[in-house]
Structure 1
Amino acid sequence: MASLPRLFLAMFLTLPLRADEMPEAFVAIDSAAPGIAVEARYFTTDNFVGTRIDGYEAPRCYLTRPAAAALSNADAALAPFGLGLKVFDCYRPQRAVDHFVRWAKDLGDTKMKARYYPRVAKSVLFKEGYIAARSGHSRGSTVDLTLIDRESGRELDMGTGFDFFGPESWPGSLAVNAQQRANRLLLRGVMTRAGFRPLQEEWWHFTLVNEPFPGRYFDFPVR
C-alpha cells in the first residue's frame, strides 16, 4: 500500500495537457521577438469570415520556440535595410479551423466575398484547397506575414492582401506588377534563409522546415 501515492503521482504527471493549456514548447512572439509587428486578423472582423474566429481571445501570436527564434532571425536580417515583419496569423487553434469549415459550408454567407474571394465561388473552396479540415498552423510552426517599412509601419505592396483567395496570390503570379513580385521575392528569400519553406499558393505563408510537431495539431486558445 505504501507505493500507492507514488503510483498516483506518476499517473498525474503523465496526464495530457488540458485543451486550453499552452505547452512549454510555445512562446509569444512579442516576448521572443518584440520588434515584429502583430496584426492578429482572426481576432478581428477584418478577415474572410467577417467575424472574430473561435479560439482567438487576444490579438497575440504564438509559435513553437524554434519557429519564433527563426522568425526573429528573419526580422533581424531585414533591420539594416529599414524593413521588418508584420504577422497576421501564427499558431491557429483547431477550433478556429473548425470555424472556417462551418463557415465554408454555409453557402449563403458571402458578406466578405468582394474583398477576399471575388472570383472564386464559395461552393468550391474545399475542392480548390482554400479551406481544409486541418491546418499546418495548428502545429505551431507556420506563420502568415508580410514586409513593412520599419519606421512608418507601412506594408510593402504585395499585389494582393493577406488571405486573398485566387491565383493572384501565388508568389510567382504574373497578374501583379514587377515591383510587387520583387517584394514577394524579398520576403521569400529572407524567410527561406531563416529556415522556412514557402507555400506555392500563398505569398504570405511559411512553415519552419524542421518543425518540432510535424504530426500534432493543438487546440489551446490564443489568449
Structure 2
Amino acid sequence: MKSLIAGLPVLLASTLAVAEPEKSPMIDLNDQVSGLVCDARYAGAENFTGRPLTGYEKSMCLGTPELALALAKAQEALAPYGLTLVVFDAYRPQSAVDGLIKWAADEKDTLHKADYYPDVQKDRLIPDGYIAAKSGHSRGGTVDLSIADAATGTLLDMATSFDFFGPQSGLSATGLTVQQKANRALLSTVMQAAGFVPYDAEWWHFRLKDEPWPDTYFDIPVR
C-alpha cells in the first residue's frame, strides 16, 4: 500500500455515466462502484439497536445513480493507495427511520449502550440530534462510510466506531492521535472533492451537495 504520509491523493477524473433509474430510483452501489465494500450494518445485528431494522430485507447498499457516480470518483482517488471505501449505510427506508424513533423511545432497551452511547442517556438521543424523524438517507443521496486497506479489509483508525454517539465522533473532536486526524482528513478530503458535504457531528456521514431528491423521503425496501 502506498504511503499516505507524503500527502492526500489527488482526485482522478471519472468517465462513468449515470444510469437511468427504473421504477425505483435506487440502485445497487456495488454494481456501479468497482471494489466498493458494502458492510450494511442495519441489515444485521451489528448496530446500536442490536437487530436488523425494518425495511432491510437484504444486506445491500443502495442509493441513487448520482450517489453511485460520486462514490466512484472517491473510490478512484483511493485505489492507487491500496485503499477502498467501506459503506455502512446509504439509502435507508423511511420505515427503518420510524423504527429508530420507536427504539429511541424505549428507555429499557439499552442492549448496546456501552458500545455506542456510553456517555449519553438514551432519552437524549432524539433531543440532541443523534436520531431524527427524517433522514437524508431516505432521499438516497446520503452515505455513511469509512476507509479500509483493500488487501486486508482492515478499517483505518478513525478514533471511534461508526455510529458512536458522542463528541468524539465530531469533526472538531479533541484528543485524537496524529494518525487518527490524518485518516479523518483523508476521508473528508476525498469525499468533498467528489461532491459531498460532511456532517459536523459524525465523521462518517456525507451528503451529496447536489442530491437529486432533496425533498422526497422514500420507503422502498432494501432488497
TM-score by length of 2: 0.89
2:169 maps to 169
Unaligned runs of 5+ in 2: 1-21
> Quick one: which amino acid aligns to residue 89 of structure 1?
D
2:60 maps to 60
Deviation track 1:189-208 (CA, whole Å, cap 9, x = no partner) reads: 00000000000000000011
2:26 maps to 26
1:215 maps to 215
Structure 1 Cα separation of the partners of residues 129 and 23 of structure 2? 29
Structure 2 Cα separation of the partners of residues 132 and 83 of structure 1? 32
**Comparing both structures, which one devotes a greater share of its residues to helix?**
1
1:85 maps to 85
- Residues 29-48 of structure 1 aligned to structure 2 (within 5 Å): 29-48=29-48
Q: How far apart are residue 181 of structure 1 and its match?
A: 1.1
CA contact (8 A) 1:172 1:181 kept: no
CA contact (8 A) 1:67 1:208 kept: yes
Q: 1:99 to 1:24 in 2, by over 3 A?
A: closer
Q: How far apart are residue 171 of structure 1 and its match?
A: 2.0
CA contact (8 A) 1:61 1:91 kept: yes
Deviation track 1:159-195 (CA, whole Å, cap 9, x = no partner) reads: 0000000000002311322211110010000000000
> Quick one: which amino acid aligns to residue 80 of structure 2?
P
- Residues 112-127 of structure 1 aligned to structure 2 (within 5 Å): 112-127=112-127
1:100 maps to 100
2:10 maps to none
Deviation track 1:25-63 (CA, whole Å, cap 9, x = no partner) reads: 321111111310010000111101111100001110111
Structure 2 Cα separation of the partners of residues 92 and 55 of structure 1? 8
Structure 1 Cα separation of the partners of residues 137 and 175 of structure 2? 27
Structure 2 Cα separation of the partners of residues 142 and 166 of structure 1? 20
Q: 1:24 to 1:100 in 2, by over 3 A?
A: closer
- Residues 132-211 of structure 1 aligned to structure 2 (within 5 Å): 132-211=132-211
1:19 maps to none
Structure 1 Cα separation of the partners of residues 201 and 23 of structure 2? 30
Unaligned runs of 5+ in 1: 1-21
Instruction: Say how many residue pairs are matched.
Output: 202
> Quick one: which amino acid aligns to residue 132 of structure 2?
A
Q: How far apart are residue 24 of structure 1 and its match?
A: 4.3
Deviation track 1:62-82 (CA, whole Å, cap 9, x = no partner) reads: 111011011011001100111
> Quick one: which amino acid aligns to residue 100 of structure 1?
L
Q: How far apart are residue 90 of structure 1 and its match?
A: 0.4
1:15 maps to none
CA contact (8 A) 1:33 1:68 kept: yes
TM-score by length of 1: 0.89
Structure 2 Cα separation of the partners of residues 164 and 222 of structure 1? 24
Question: Which secondary structure state, in structure 1, belongs to the residue aligned with residue 123 of structure 2?
Answer: helix
> Quick one: which amino acid aligns to residue 205 of structure 2?
H
CA contact (8 A) 1:85 1:146 kept: yes
Structure 2 Cα separation of the partners of residues 138 and 208 of structure 1? 13
Structure 1 Cα separation of the partners of residues 105 and 185 of structure 2? 34
Question: Which secondary structure state, in structure 1, belongs to the residue aligned with residue 143 of structure 2?
Answer: strand
